[in-house]
Structure 1
Amino acid sequence: MNPGVKALQEVGIEIVSVDPCSDAECAAESASLTRWQFQDLKNAAKRKPEVDLVLHGSDEYGLARKSLTEAQWERGLTKAAGQNLARWLMEMPANHMTPTIFARHAVDLLGRAGGDGISIKVEAHDEAWASNQGMNSFLAVAQGSSEPPVFLEITYNNLPSKEKPIVIVGKGITFDTGGISIKPSANMDKMRGDMGGAACTLATILTAANLRLPLHLKGLIPLAENMPGGKAIKPGDVVKAMNGKTIQIDNTDAEGRLILADALAYAQQTYQPNLVLDIATLTGAINVALGSSAAGVFTNSNALWHLVHQSSFTTGDRVWRMPLWKHFQSALESQLADLNNVGKTGAGGSCSAAAFLKEFTDAPHWMHLDIAGVGGVVDGSDVPYLAKGMTGRPTRTLIEVLSRISQSEDLQNMF
């Protein structure tokens, strides 16, 4: 199916009729992911034609069968649209996707998804609010940039009886130079996608709203740039996070964990959730370990691991469990503070980063997804059904996790 849609697109076909192949939802996802391409900033003459997808053969079925097939088709298109939104947000250059602009998109997109008894609220908290909360770790990263930081808080509630929300936290570094610990210039342009966790978080919650899932969700997205300005944090600086723990910052390019620390602490202190998922393009080490084959996941909950693992089989977007041992926490000892933001040796970098995050949540079911290997640019051969560019992975796996929770009373009681 994927080669067919690509081939027809290449020769300028604008409408493609897709056979449901006994699974209309899967067919819709596959075709929609394949046809998507980022062309927003190209001259109209250089753009390839957009392809419209239609469900083939629905007239051959009886009314009940047709209704079921079309519903599955629409559900598949909705899920694929979620991942494609994440791709679009990640692909947009950093001067077109600052923290403020990202927040505006969130307000607009989620504002249009509400109604019909579903409560959606989006709050774009400013720097003063974050300072009053004691989010010094988050603000330390932002202080090197002239772009103001934004702490985005999203509430989706289609289950008023559920007191504690499921919390999803997404890393929102809209451009990452590395700060004073500056990155090499080669491929630095790809750091426009360092807000992949934020993109997946927004896309997942929007898709949950479009699917009308009966859930209570909170999305927390700290948004900032990591720049080497005159006010930037320096190696050796010490800051106090929202939960009172002090952090020695020996590497300013390990900034994602600093902004997530305050977001996780805020979730813990404000909502005391049973389930927390944090998503981040956090470490190059996970790309070395797993490449684009799977997202690396770290969790304190076997039940949550099994749920996410099973969901990944359904979506075909795999995950792989990584160790969360005390060994990695001991590597974060600091001479000056409670914690260092990097391990002593640099070995096991993705594991020590996860161990760092664990210091900021007490949720009985917490999972950190390091998506640095799966979320970034692919060349078209790593994932054949995606065009070259940012992938938006693993948005559909997150949507599947939420869908399964929404359909299970036992899971809703657990989480």
Structure 2
Amino acid sequence: MSLAACGKVPLRSLLRTGLAWNLLRFCRHNSGSKGLVLGVYEGGKVDEAIQFTKAGELFDNSISGRLKELLTISGPALKKGRSRIFYGLHQDFPHVVVVGLGDKNAEVNSLEQCDEGKENIRAAVAVGCRQLQDLEVPHVEVDTCGDAHCAAEGSVLGLFEYNELKKKKKTAVTVKPYGSLENAAWQRGVTYAEGQNLARHLMEAPANYLTPTSFAEIIQQALHSTSDKIEVHIRSKSWIEEQQMGAFLSVAKGSDEEPVFLEIHYNGSTVSSESPLVFVGKGITFDSGGVSIKPASGMDAMRADMGGAATICSAITTAASLKLPLNVIGLAPLCENMVNGRANKPGDVVRAKNGKTIQVDNTDAEGRLILADALCYAHNFNPKVVVNAATLTGAMDVALGSAATGVFTNSDWLWEHLKAASIVTGDRVWRMPLFQHYTKQVTESQLADLNNIGKYSRSGGACTAAAFLQEFVTVPHWAHLDIAGVMSNKDEVPYLRKGMAGRPTRTLVEFIVSLSQENQKS
């Protein structure tokens, strides 16, 4: 059955009768059916109420303009991010979803610090794909809307949902570009999105399933499937002890789970001696707060306190999949922060790898302890750049919320590269102060060289945490990304479902891509 079969019935009448519902039921239960997502821009003038993309125009021409007619009579013009679904228009596509792309001329908005045109495509395509998934349509073709990379990202990110432990799962949907020759750009977008989805998968997994050991094994498997230029070292507790990583070990000793130091190398450069980028990620696979225990409400979300490790490892996995011509090293200290008779106590003093002593006045400020040792170790590789990522402070969530990742850096050059990458991906970053004002607050400690919290307690908490980390850095290009505010998504990013966000994986990937392109030019 199709709308063509009802040719003697006015289209307006058809929309107002039960025939439309019967048609919907028919299409919904056609298990072998395909769906199509098409984009439409907001009209600039009254006589331009409907502006199809090129793919939309081709499709509408193939059915003698019926889609435009239906859109005209079925309601007001589609606004950005809204959708409308039609059934039986085409024998190959029983389900057609039209999505609003907003302004056709949308571009980089300097105030918003993102490319709004790209973001509109991601959001619109995600809406269409989810609507077809809800109708249990297993095969979907997507209008690339002038940017196949972004359309692919919207499709793959929009469809992701962590349901691995549920008996009932959503329909698995395969997506591919419709009527496009931009297959390379589409596949690149798929790769970017799958990288972020890997981080989301890791961050969503319950802590009893994702231990430090299983985290390392998952990353090892993911990396070995991407490239033969990979080395993975899963370092044991005895190795950590040999490295004299006393700060890391002090956190790990509160749990029965053995700590792991994950070290990954992607050797993509044709010059083996080329200085690598080194990414460091906080890997607390569950954070109870230790003796300074967290409130029970919301503590389950602390399964994602390894978000830093998840994003940097996923970004490197993506770089390997893209076969980028540069060297990247990932370092992830992995452990739990729990409470037992051996756990850190407020007032304890521990010694980091570089010999500095740290007074632990708050055991819930544990991320900076494990990162301190990892940052010291990062300097062994003569790095060109060191970037660390961590769900480090609630203060960052208070400061920026979910709008952007907070970036603290000693390098204007590095900041500009991270900012440029974030404008492309829509996963924004915002520069935060790294003043000596904050350094003094962590270096004036009663019992040790440093204190793991600022002397004014919660004031400037994200800034004092960054100042603490800087005490373990000597390279000229270092950035600390505090991702606590972007850890999860409610409805802020329309192309991500509710849950752990995996941000800013794509921004890290785009940053690696930009540096690899610079290497090739030089």
Once the two structures are superposed, what CA deviation does each residue of 1:76-133 show, in whole Å capped at 9, x if it has no partner?
A: 0000000000000000000000001001111111112222xxx210000011101111
The 2-side partners of 1:384 and 1:10 are apart by: 16
Counterpart AA for 1:57: G
Q: State yes or no: 1:137 paired with 2:247.
A: yes
Q: Which residue of 1 aligns with 2:476?
A: 364
Alignment of 1:76-91 (within 5 A): 76-91=189-204
2:223 to 92, 99, 110: 110
| RCO comparison, higher one (Cα < 8 Å, 6+) | 1
2:388 to 268, 271, 278: 278
Counterpart AA for 1:54: K
Kindly indicate whether the alpha-carbon contact (under 8 Å) linking 1:251 and 1:342 is maintained by their aligned counterparts in 2. Answer: yes
The 2-side partners of 1:336 and 1:154 are apart by: 36
Kindly indicate whether the alpha-carbon contact (under 8 Å) linking 1:196 and 1:375 is maintained by their aligned counterparts in 2. Answer: yes
Aligned-pair distance for 1:9?
Answer: 1.3
2:451 to 327, 340, 360: 340
SS of structure 2 residue aligned to 1:49: coil
Higher Cα Rg, which structure: 2
- The two structures have a TM-score, normalised by structure 1, of 0.94
Q: State yes or no: 1:146 paired with 2:146.
A: no
Counterpart AA for 1:90: M
Q: State yes or no: 1:289 paired with 2:411.
A: no
Please give the root-mean-square deviation of Cα atoms over the aligned residues, in Å.
1.1
Q: Which residue of 2 aligns with 1:51?
A: 173
Alignment of 1:204-215 (within 5 A): 204-215=315-326
1:122 to 192, 216, 232: 232
Structure 1: runs of 5 or more not aligned: 59-65
Q: Which residue of 2 aligns with 1:95?
A: 208
SS of structure 1 residue aligned to 2:486: helix
Once the two structures are superposed, what CA deviation does each residue of 1:165-191 show, in whole Å capped at 9, x if it has no partner?
A: 110000000000000000000000000
Kindly indicate whether the alpha-carbon contact (under 8 Å) linking 1:38 and 1:91 is maintained by their aligned counterparts in 2. Answer: yes
Counterpart AA for 2:134: E
Q: Which residue of 1 aligns with 2:304?
A: 193
Counterpart AA for 2:503: R
- The two structures have a TM-score, normalised by structure 2, of 0.75
Once the two structures are superposed, what CA deviation does each residue of 1:282-341 show, in whole Å capped at 9, x if it has no partner?
A: 000000000000000000000110110011000001000000000001001110000000
Structure 1 stretches of 4+ with a deviation exceeding 4 A read none
Structure 2: runs of 5 or more not aligned: 1-124
Counterpart AA for 1:394: P
Q: State yes or no: 1:19 paired with 2:130.
A: no
The 2-side partners of 1:392 and 1:253 are apart by: 22
Kindly indicate whether the alpha-carbon contact (under 8 Å) linking 1:160 and 1:216 is maintained by their aligned counterparts in 2. Answer: no
Q: What number of residue pairs does the alignment pair up?
A: 395
SS of structure 2 residue aligned to 1:156: strand
SS of structure 1 residue aligned to 2:261: strand
Q: Which residue of 1 aligns with 2:348?
A: 237
SS of structure 2 residue aligned to 1:94: coil
Q: Which residue of 2 aligns with 1:266?
A: 377
The 1-side partners of 2:314 and 2:201 are apart by: 10
SS of structure 1 residue aligned to 2:263: strand
The 1-side partners of 2:446 and 2:502 are apart by: 39
2:425 to 305, 311, 315: 315
Q: State yes or no: 1:29 paired with 2:140.
A: no
The 2-side partners of 1:335 and 1:140 are apart by: 19
Q: Which residue of 2 aligns with 1:40?
A: 164
Kindly indicate whether the alpha-carbon contact (under 8 Å) linking 2:270 and 2:325 is maintained by their aligned counterparts in 1. Answer: no
Q: State yes or no: 1:219 paired with 2:330.
A: yes
Q: Which residue of 1 aligns with 2:267?
A: 157
Aligned-pair distance for 1:275?
Answer: 0.5
Deviates further, 2-11 or 164-173: 2-11
Q: Which residue of 2 aligns with 1:373?
A: 485
The 1-side partners of 2:264 and 2:324 are apart by: 16
The 2-side partners of 1:232 and 1:104 are apart by: 26
1:2 to 126, 132, 143: 126
Aligned-pair distance for 1:10?
Answer: 1.3
SS of structure 1 residue aligned to 2:496: coil
The 2-side partners of 1:355 and 1:211 are apart by: 34
Kindly indicate whether the alpha-carbon contact (under 8 Å) linking 2:227 and 2:323 is maintained by their aligned counterparts in 1. Answer: no
1:390 to 489, 497, 500: 500
Q: Which residue of 2 aligns with 1:178?
A: 289
The 1-side partners of 2:136 and 2:270 are apart by: 48
Q: State yes or no: 1:349 paired with 2:461.
A: yes
Kindly indicate whether the alpha-carbon contact (under 8 Å) linking 1:317 and 1:394 is maintained by their aligned counterparts in 2. Answer: yes
Kindly indicate whether the alpha-carbon contact (under 8 Å) linking 1:197 and 1:281 is maintained by their aligned counterparts in 2. Answer: yes
SS of structure 1 residue aligned to 2:466: helix
The 2-side partners of 1:198 and 1:356 are apart by: 19
The 1-side partners of 2:223 and 2:417 are apart by: 27
Aligned-pair distance for 1:160?
Answer: 4.0
Once the two structures are superposed, what CA deviation does each residue of 1:5-32 show, in whole Å capped at 9, x if it has no partner?
A: 1211112111111011111011001111
Kindly indicate whether the alpha-carbon contact (under 8 Å) linking 1:283 and 1:350 is maintained by their aligned counterparts in 2. Answer: yes
The 2-side partners of 1:350 and 1:238 are apart by: 22
